[in-house]
Amino acid sequence: MTATVISGTGLFTPAESISNDELVASFNAYVDLYNSENAAAIASGELPPLQHSSVEFIEKA
């Protein structure tokens, strides 16, 4: 059996990166739009509402 090794050093950040704050703001805007567009289905119990995220959740994950 061949041994497999995953190794690396350093951190590459592309020029097009976004911060966790920007990611959370974008996702939460999507959640608001989704919940608004699906309000009737959410109210009837057909769909569960999406929940907002937070920077703390991303850092913990």
Q: How far separated are the first and last CA of the chain, in Å rounded?
A: 33
For the entire predicted model, the pTM comes to: 0.73
How far, in Å, CA of 32 to CA of 35, rounded? 5
How far, in Å, CA of 33 to CA of 47, rounded? 14
How far, in Å, CA of 24 to CA of 50, rounded? 13
Residue 5: predicted pLDDT: 84
DSSP state of 1: -
pLDDT single digits (tens) 2-61: 888 888 888 888 899 999 999 999 999 999 999 999 999 999 999 999 999 999 998 888
Residue 9: predicted pLDDT: 80
Q: Domain segments of the chain: what residues?
A: 20-60
